[in-house]
């Protein structure tokens, strides 16, 4: 019997994502001037207020207030009527130095012997149901909101949009786990006030269905376009008015959107958030590494769907173990345990090796903090950072290195594919 599966996404203007983006902007600025920075930074945003807290070990000094304000303005909170804007909000910093008790387990005389920054388990996942090896429902949820944000910034076809929004997509699958059609789409978008509520709701629904949806469909491959149909159930701003939003409507915290950040409920999640953490924290770096493994395994033909788990003890160099689940989709006679053994031989999962392989000691994290950390486009960009002293640095950095299919040949050779 066919079944339904749902995933959601939230926009860059969602309060939790505002917090994530501020935390990762701080990470990038620390790493730009001191690649060895150790940072764990949390952000809280609420009506007219930003609170920064966390632990840092770094040789650089930053104007954290300016970084927070610039991030907020970039997102689009630039008007006093939003009750939260980058130019007027308060920014309180309670950032202090990292505990020596934590740092002693990470830093070693030899970088190769760097211990894990914390204990825990991390998961990576990939599936061949989309071109970027991501679950379809989440991929569509992200795309709906990136296009909605583009419409907001263009301010031409739709002129009343505000930064906060959420999406949700429900897909019908066949018994053999193949997407059959889109069953439902939910969009809730913050908007300017209207004189008449009924006119407002009708206008927003019409614009979403007739302007946003066609733009999204046009960006999709034909086989995914075919899943859109006239029977999709649309729920557009289902509670009605959505003028009060962002940090004024709901307090935001770093790390509260871990499922949006990863696989939309597919696969599994170890529970650790990403944003605000430098790559010595395996919550982040090992989650990227396991995604890299899963994606290369699926692309190489080891399985149609793969879940990878790795686990660590704080201060210990080698992982506790690697687990693989192919969900019975491996086309040749090899157990998941045997696949895990080969994966351990191909991929060095020591923390420093992960940092080196994926180039994680670079300022690459601001781009990850909205619309998902996985399934994104690997590219090289130029970024400039400026210190309070006026010193600036311009760097070419490679984004989303964990999305590269650079181990496919090695995987094929190891599995005789």
Residue numbers in the known binding site for K(+) are 42
Contact predicate 101/60, CB 8 Å: no
Token representation of residue 250: 């709901």
Measured between alpha carbons, how far is 188 from 166 in angstroms, rounded to an integer? 5
**Can you say which residues are annotated as belonging to the binding site?**
14, 16, 42, 55, 98, 164-166, 241-242, 250, 256-257, 273, 277, 281
| Beta strand segments in 78-220, E | 90-97, 120-127, 161-173, 179-191
Distant-in-sequence, close-in-space partners of 34: CB < 8 Å, separation ≥ 6: 58, 59, 60
**Which residues have a Cβ under 8 Å from the Cβ of 256 and sit 6 or more positions away?**
16, 19, 273
CA distances to 68, 86, 190, 303, 309 from 50, rounded to whole Å, are 8, 10, 21, 45, 35
Paired with 340 in beta bridges are none
What SS3 state is found at 392?
Answer: strand
What is d(CA 309, CA 357) in angstroms, rounded to the nearest whole number?
A: 18
- Binding-site residues for Mg(2+): 16
Q: Which two tokens stand for residue 254?
A: 């770093």
For residues 97 and 55, what is the distance between their CA atoms, to the nearest angstrom? 5
Which residues carry a binding-site annotation for L-methionine?
Answer: 55, 98, 250, 281
Q: Closest Cα to residue 138, out of 176, 171, 184, 180?
A: 171
Find out whether 414 and 353 touch, Cβ atoms under 8 Å: no
**Angle, helices 64-75/15-33, rounded to nearest 10 degrees:** 130
The SS3 call for residue 148 is: helix
- Provide the token pair at 412: 């094929």
């Amino acid at each position: 019997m066919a079944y339904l599966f749902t995933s959601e996404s939230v926009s860059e203007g969602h309060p939790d994502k505002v917090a994530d983006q501020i935390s990762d902007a701080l990470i990038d600025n620390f790493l730009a001037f001191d690649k060895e920075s150790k940072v764990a930074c949390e952000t809280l945003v609420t009506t007219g207020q930003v609170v920064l807290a966390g632990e840092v070990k770094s040789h650089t000094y930053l104007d954290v207030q300016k970084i927070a304000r610039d991030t907020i303005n970039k997102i689009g909170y630039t008007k006093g009527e939003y009750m939260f804007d980058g130019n007027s909000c308060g920014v309180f910093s309670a950032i202090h130095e990292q505990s020596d008790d934590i740092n002693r387990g990470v830093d070693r005389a030899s970088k190769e012997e760097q211990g894990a920054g914390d204990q825990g388990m991390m998961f990576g996942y990939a599936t061949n149901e989309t071109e970027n090896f991501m679950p379809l429902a989440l991929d569509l949820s992200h795309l709906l909101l990136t296009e909605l944000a583009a419409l907001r910034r263009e301010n031409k076809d739709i002129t009343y949009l505000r930064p906060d929004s959420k999406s949700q997509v429900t897909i019908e699958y066949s018994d053999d786990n193949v997407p059959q059609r889109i069953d439902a789409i939910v969009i809730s978008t913050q908007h300017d006030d209207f004189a008449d509520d009924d006119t407002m709701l009708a206008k927003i629904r019409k614009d979403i269905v007739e302007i946003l949806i066609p733009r999204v469909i046009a960006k999709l491959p034909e086989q995914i376009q075919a899943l859109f149909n006239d029977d999709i159930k649309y729920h557009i701003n289902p509670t009605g008015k959505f003028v009060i939003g962002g940090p004024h409507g709901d307090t935001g915290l770093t790390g509260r959107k871990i499922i949006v950040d990863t696989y939309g409920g597919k696969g599994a999640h170890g529970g650790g958030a990403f944003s605000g953490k430098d790559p010595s924290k395996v919550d982040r770096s090992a989650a990227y590494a396991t995604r890299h493994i899963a994606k290369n395994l699926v692309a190489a033909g080891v399985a149609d769907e793969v879940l990878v788990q790795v686990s660590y003890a704080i201060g210990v160099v080698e992982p506790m173990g690697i687990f693989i689940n192919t969900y019975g989709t491996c086309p040749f006679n090899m157990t998941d345990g045997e696949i895990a053994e080969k994966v351990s031989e191909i991929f060095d999962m020591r923390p420093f090796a992960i940092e080196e392989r994926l180039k994680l000691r670079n300022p690459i994290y601001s781009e990850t903090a909205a619309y998902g950390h996985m399934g994104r486009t690997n590219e090289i960009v130029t970024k400039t950072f400026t210190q309070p002293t006026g010193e600036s640095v311009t760097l070419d950095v490679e984004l989303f290195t964990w999305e590269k299919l650079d181990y496919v040949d090695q995987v094929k050779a190891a599995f005789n594919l």
